Amino acid sequence: MKPLNRPPHALKRDGGSMAIVGAGIAGLTLATALGRAGIRCEVFEQAKNLREVGAGVQIAPNASRLLHRLGLAQRLGPVVVRPDAVEMRRWDDSRLLGRTELGAACEELYGAPYYTVHRADLHQSLLSGIDDNILHIGRRCVRVEELPEGARLHFDDGSTHDADVVIGADGIHSVVRDALAMDEPRFSGQSIYRGLVPADRLPFPLDEPKVRLWLGPRQHVVCYPVSGGKWVSVGATTPAGDWSTESWTAEGRVEDVVDAYQGWHQEATDVLKALDQVGRWALHDRDPLRHWCSAGGRIAVVGDAAHPMLPFQAQGANQAIEDVIVLAACLRVADQDGIPKALARYERTRRPRTDRLQQLSRSNSRRFHLSDGEGQRERDTALLGAQSLREQEWLYGYDAEAVLLQDQLG
Ligand SMILES: Cc1cc2nc3c(=O)[nH]c(=O)nc-3n(C[C@H](O)[C@H](O)[C@H](O)COP(=O)(O)OP(=O)(O)OC[C@H]3O[C@@H](n4cnc5c(N)ncnc54)[C@H](O)[C@@H]3O)c2cc1C
């Protein structure tokens, strides 16, 4: 174990004093950002093989601008798709309810693109910027203990690792979060089927790449192209019934999801029928977390470990990326004694925004799944009137680094 009472700027000068639990989008982006800031870290991942689930993720300008600043624009270029628009349609006749322009209009307005990307491609791009030696796979953390000037990770094989700072990037079931709160994930009552379809098997041409959603009673379907347009990522929610498995690897049955969407418009059902296999998992979130760092200021959480949200605003990963960029910036200027302050500053900067998005994602879960009737008609009227890209300024126009700088100057 290294002595913990090191001189100022120990994080920068002395390698290995920072530990990240989890090598998902949050953990890998944090490792990249710290690497660029000259701070060495060690990443501990429970999985024996590093791979992502076969599904897509939408990366909005609020996160793509940060990935670009990390130097990933070129790597991402060939594998992403820049959709022209998001379109919401009615479940039975596929009538257009609302359309938000993306593509060039989005880049012009917000200075960064809207991407749809296969998770494995994003993962690979992030891994490309990280030194292999700092990644420790097959290491499952079971507990984190705060020390007077650091923290200790305990692993399932009985081993330990000490660091000046421990960051939990270990997802919704975070064990690092257990050091900060006693709460549990909340089951939403919904499940989601996810899979990929070769683009040439779609019932409509992909000449205008779009994020397409069909909204209907108790469920919705979303699909968008990924992997440079070769594949289409499909997600279909259904009431979960007695399905409560929450795992990225649990398999569902294509016939069940097709059956659940009987009576929906043919475009939506044809997309589902084109699936060869699907994953299925129950959707959980948590209430906003009150304290993102420990009392001693040596343990903090990022991404889903801090603010797991339902996927109905497509912002969980985007917020994880914002988190880690802010955290890395706070730590970059921290000396050994300043670590608790840096973590507190990170929490202060991030919490209001992610609290809001956690709530918004929950309310979308009701809004997207209204049965036909007065509420649905009101929603549809609002959708028609409020789809201007400019209304997304608070979300897409947000520059997490600039906000932190303002906080510093203010
Ligand atoms: C259906 C669905 C669709 C979504 N779509 C979008 C979208 O379009 N846009 C968007 O921004 N977000 C989306 N999200 C949310 C997004 O997937 C998550 O917010 C994001 O993956 C969180 O990343 P993370 O790194 O914080 O956590 P995770 O991806 O959960 O990664 C955690 C990592 O930690 C590891 N780990 C866990 N426990 C331990 C342990 N004890 N010891 C060591 N390692 C551990 C795990 O193996 C994993 O590698 C979606 C989510 C779902 C469910």
Ligand 1 within 6 A of CB of 311: yes
Note if 224 is an active site residue. yes
- Name the residue of 20, 32, 57, 281 to mutate for ligand 1: max ligand atoms within 8 A of Cβ: 57
List, in order, residues 6 or more apart from 73 with CB less than 8 Å away: 67
CA 95 / ligand 1 centre spacing (Å):
33
- Name the residue of 45, 220, 319, 325 to mutate for ligand 1: max ligand atoms within 8 A of Cβ: 45
CA 335 / ligand 1 centre spacing (Å):
30
Residue with CA at minimum distance from ligand 1 atom 38: 170
User: What pLDDT score was predicted for residue 1?
Assistant: 37
CA 173 / ligand 1 centre spacing (Å):
10
Ligand 1 within 6 A of CB of 168: no
Three-state SS at 224 = strand
Ligand 1 within 6 A of CB of 175: yes
User: What pLDDT score was predicted for residue 247?
Assistant: 62
Residue with CA at minimum distance from ligand 1 atom 2: 311
Ligand 1 within 6 A of CB of 315: yes
213-226 core/surface letters (b: 16 or more CB in 10 A; e: else): bbbbeebbbbbbbb
Q: Which of 10-24, 61-75, 195-209, 238-252 has the highest mean pLDDT?
A: 61-75
Helix (H) or strand (E) holding 35: helix 25-36
Three-state SS at 213 = strand
Tokens of 332: 């970059």
CA 169 / ligand 1 centre spacing (Å):
9
3-state helix, strand, coil in the chain (%, to 5): 40, 25, 35
Tokens of 244: 């409560």
Residue with CA at minimum distance from ligand 1 atom 50: 311
Distances (CA, A) of 336 to 27, 39, 147, 339, 351: 22, 13, 14, 6, 24
Mean pLDDT within 102-129: 95
Q: How confident is the model at residue 208 (pLDDT cuts 50, 70, 90)?
A: confident
Q: Poorest-confidence range of 16-20, 185-189, 314-318, 380-384?
A: 16-20
Q: Which atom of ligand 1 is nearest to the CA of 320?
A: 26
Q: Which atom of ligand 1 is nearest to the CA of 28?
A: 25
User: What pLDDT score was predicted for residue 388?
Assistant: 82
CA 195 / ligand 1 centre spacing (Å):
16
Going by the DSSP 8-state scheme, the letter that residue 338 receives in this structure is: G
Q: How far is CA 395 from the centre of its chain?
A: 14
CA 170 / ligand 1 centre spacing (Å):
8
Mean pLDDT within 324-341: 90
User: What pLDDT score was predicted for residue 202?
Assistant: 84
Residue with CA at minimum distance from ligand 1 atom 17: 317
Domains of the chain, each with CATH number or no CATH: 10-51+131-185+289-409 (3.50.50.60)
Ligand 1 within 6 A of CB of 23: yes
Ligand 1 within 6 A of CB of 24: yes
User: Which one from 114, 224, 346, 398 is the annotated catalytic residue?
Assistant: 224
Residue with CA at minimum distance from ligand 1 atom 3: 311
Task: Write down the H helix ranges in 37-147.
Answer: 61-69, 73-76, 103-110, 119-128
Ligand 1 within 6 A of CB of 380: no
Mean pLDDT within 291-308: 97
Tokens of 371: 């049965």
Residue with tokens 């300043």: 338
With 80 as the cut, is the pLDDT of residue 332 above it?
yes
Tokens of 314: 């497509």
Give the whole-angstrom CA distance, residue 258 versus residue 151: 49
| pLDDT tens column, 152-193 | 999 999 999 999 999 999 999 999 999 999 999 999 999 999
With 50 as the cut, is the pLDDT of residue 2 above it?
no
Average pLDDT, rounded, for the chain: 91
* Helix 61-69 and helix 103-110, axial crossing angle in degrees, nearest 10: 70
Please provide the size of the chain in residues: 410
With 60 as the cut, is the pLDDT of residue 123 above it?
yes
